[in-house]
Structure 1
Amino acid sequence: MLHESIKCELIEFGGEDNHVHMIVAVRPTIAVASLVGKLKGKSSYMIRREFWDCVKTMHWGNHFWSPSYCVVSCGGASLDVVKKYIESQNAPPNERSLRASLAANKRKSRLLLARPAHE
């Protein structure tokens, strides 16, 4: 799907209940903040127009989307690897990754507790 006004292409889309993931091909002359603003603005308009009864209680203050966003470059990862990551966002974590995450959080907590307090 090509968006003519900003010359970008939506390659992949996925997400969860409270956020979305997208792979978007865009020219380097387009500012990321401008792209995100247009995507959020147009999608908010379209979602409100089509699904108002379902979304009228799902606002961030007076806004449909949170004002924040995260943009990550995928470096040398192949498009297939990034697509699989996005597609997997609706799947619950497997037990191995859940254990690894819990262990990492436990280590982080111990490090924070071991630091001396600053005056």
Structure 2
Amino acid sequence: MGIDENIRTGRHCVFPMHVHLVFVTKYRHSVFADRHLTRCEEIMRAVCEDFEAELVEFNGETNHVHLLVNYPPKVAVSRLVNSLKGVSSRRLRQEFPDLVPHYWRAQRLWSGSYFAGSVDGAPPSILKQYIEHQNRPLRPELR
């Protein structure tokens, strides 16, 4: 029997748990250029590692990002999402002064809502392809 690369093991369990996350910017304003998305991916990858999760795929467009995350059963998706959005918002604000005008009212980059979908129905490879083919902005700046 072959080893499935999507199945992870914990101390007391074996699991293939993936979630497709989508975060949109506040008021769905076009905020991101390629350099913002590149740094956002690095930040979110580090947050996932802190949760013992793996960011399998990341991509985005000017007003939203898609993530495919392989996570252990001990992690609540809502806690992971809260950290991903909170840490990325704070760090992007610190590192990119050009983004500050996009932080609306309560100084938030992201909309309060998000999409979280279980990947049970589609193989992770198909979802990974979908995320890879997002229309990522290629120009360095929006302006």
Which among 46, 58, 62 is matched to residue 102 of structure 2?
A: 58
Structure 1 equivalent of residue 62 of structure 2: 17
Do residues 40 (structure 1) and 91 (structure 2) align?
no
User: Could you list the runs of 5+ residues in structure 1 that have no partner in the other structure?
Assistant: 92-119
Number of equivalent positions: 90
> Could you tell me whether the CA contact under 8 Å between 1:60 and 1:66 is conserved in 2?
no
Compare relative contact order (CA 8 Å, sep 6+) and give the higher one, 1 or 2. 2
What TM-score, normalized by structure 1, do the two folds share?
0.67
Structure 2 equivalent of residue 79 of structure 1: 124
Q: Which structure shows the bigger proportion of residues in helix conformation?
A: 1
Distance 2:66 2:105 in 1: 22
Deviations 1:40-89 (A, max 9, x none): 1111122111112x101112432111111110112242222111111222
Matched position secondary structure for 2:131: helix
Percent identical among aligned pairs is 43
Q: Greater Rg, structure 1 or structure 2? A: 1
Structure 2 equivalent of residue 26 of structure 1: 71
Q: CA deviation at 1:5?
A: 2.9
CA RMSD of aligned residues (A): 1.8
Q: Which structure shows the bigger proportion of residues in strand conformation?
A: 2
Distance 1:79 1:23 in 2: 8
Letter in 2 for 1:50: E
Q: CA deviation at 1:4?
A: 4.1
